[in-house]
Chains A and B, each alone.
Chain A
Amino acid sequence: MSQALLTVIGEDRPGIVAAVTQALYTAGCSIGDASMMRLGGYFAIMQVLSYPQDLGAVEMALDAAVKRLNLRVHLDPLSSVAADGGAAPDTRVTVFGADRPGIVASVTAALASIGFNIVDLESERSGSPEHPIYIMVIQGRAPAGIAAVQEVLAPLRERESIDIGVHPLETVVL
């Protein structure tokens, strides 16, 4: 079995996941890690899948669902190295404040400068239309340690007037 990363995007409506996964199942594919969510009225699917033959066969299997639900599909073959799940995140960074341009860019630039590897980022625009707030939760690995994360983010609190929390994400094996 070879592996690929499948991306599917379409206007949100009930039945997208069912149609896509049923087509994949019928084509002999199996689904690995997946992340699916509604974003701005659209539904996005990102998932690792193992497929038995060639990617062309996978695309063909998806064709009926794609046409019926007006989806856009993208398939990227994965090397076995890239398909590895990687290590669990060890740090969670929470950011919230009055929404304005540049928050994500400045926070992630600071994190990148210390080699912080983002495993997962979720954000939401919330609050009232007059006073929008921005909330972001980042989980990732901090090779330089959690103190380095705190240090590199500390100046942003004042400069961007945002609240930033840095929490250790200990994985307890019991």
Chain B
Amino acid sequence: MAVLPILTYPDPLLQRPAVAVANFDAELRAFVDDLIETMRAGPGGVGIAAPQVGRLQRIVVVDVRAKLGDDCHGLMVLVNPDLIAWEGVAVGREGCMSVPDFTGNVIRAEQIRVQAQDIHGEDRVYECAGFEARAVQHEMDHLDGLLFLDRLVSRKTDLFRRKVYKR
């Protein structure tokens, strides 16, 4: 187990799309353990994506228990995650370990359904809401080379929350 160094913007690796994981082996499990330890050592401690430590693979870890207690899924290891449904939008202020010191308002879906594989390659589906959904979306963006900076909204635009959007 090791805490890995976090890449910070403008490191070009943060803006490259990650590739799907194909081998669910011991090496992957060891890496994910390191990723979890790195997440817990960070300032937020609730989420991390593999590209943030320079590994361009589609792996995300989220654990918002520090914030929500047991009212969430606990530790989620999402490998090759896919957003298969979403509903509602909300504005929230986000920061990122890879963008130190800056925070800004970002619009995210309020409820999401995510399909992913677990650490053993088994298919899983998670339904998340609120804070947990925000964390998952933020981390999944890293897999497409997106930072929350790409989604900043002006303060003017968040006057009213439009709750009725559906896809």
Q: Which of A11-19, A21-29, A44-52, A164-172 contacts B (4 or more CB under 8 A)?
A: A164-172
Whether, in the assembled complex, A137 has its beta carbon less than 8 Å from a beta carbon of chain B, the answer is yes
Whether, in the assembled complex, A173 has its beta carbon less than 8 Å from a beta carbon of chain B, the answer is yes
Contact of A174 with B159 in the complex, beta carbons under 8 Å: no
**Most interface-central of A88, A89, A169, A172 (chain B CB within 10 A):** A172
Contact of A172 with B159 in the complex, beta carbons under 8 Å: no
Please report whether the interface of chain A is mostly helix, strand, loop or mixed according to DSSP. Answer: strand
Residues in B neighbouring A174, C-beta threshold 8 A: 44, 46-48, 94-97, 135, 138-139, 148
- Specify the chain B residue showing the minimal Cβ separation from A120: B155
- Specify the chain B residue showing the minimal Cβ separation from A172: B94
Whether, in the assembled complex, B9 has its beta carbon less than 8 Å from a beta carbon of chain A, the answer is no
Q: How far is the CB of B30 from chain A (nearest CB, A)?
A: 23
Number of B residues, CB within 8 Å of A: 23
Chain A contact residues (Cβ within 8 angstroms of B): what range?
10 to 19
Within 8 A of B (CB), among A44-74: none
Q: How far is the CB of B78 from chain A (nearest CB, A)?
A: 14
Whether, in the assembled complex, A122 has its beta carbon less than 8 Å from a beta carbon of chain B, the answer is yes
Knowing A88-B93, A88-B103, say if A172 contacts B135 (CB, 8 Å): yes
- Specify the chain A residue showing the minimal Cβ separation from B45: A173
Contact of B46 with A172 in the complex, beta carbons under 8 Å: yes
**Contact string, B127-167, partner A, CB cutoff 8 A, digits 1/0?**
00001001100110000000010000001101100000000
Whether, in the assembled complex, A135 has its beta carbon less than 8 Å from a beta carbon of chain B, the answer is yes
Contact of B97 with A173 in the complex, beta carbons under 8 Å: yes
Within 8 A of B (CB), among A120-139: 120, 122, 135, 137, 139
Whether, in the assembled complex, A94 has its beta carbon less than 8 Å from a beta carbon of chain B, the answer is yes
Within 8 A of A (CB), among B71-106: 92-97, 103
- Specify the chain A residue showing the minimal Cβ separation from B42: A173
- Specify the chain B residue showing the minimal Cβ separation from A126: B159
- Where the two chains meet, the residues of B that have a C-beta atom closer than 8 Å to any C-beta of A are 42-44, 46-48, 92-97, 103, 131, 134-135, 138-139, 148, 155-156, 158-159
- Where the two chains meet, the residues of A that have a C-beta atom closer than 8 Å to any C-beta of B are 88-89, 94, 120, 122, 135, 137, 139, 169-174
List 16 contacting pairs A-B, 8 Å CB cutoff, sorted by A: A89-B93, A122-B155, A122-B156, A137-B155, A137-B158, A169-B93, A171-B94, A172-B131, A172-B135, A173-B95, A173-B97, A174-B44, A174-B48, A174-B135, A174-B139, A174-B148
Apart from A122-B156, A172-B134, A174-B148, list 9 A-B contacts with CB within 8 A. Answer: A88-B103, A139-B155, A169-B93, A170-B131, A171-B95, A173-B96, A174-B96, A174-B135, A174-B138
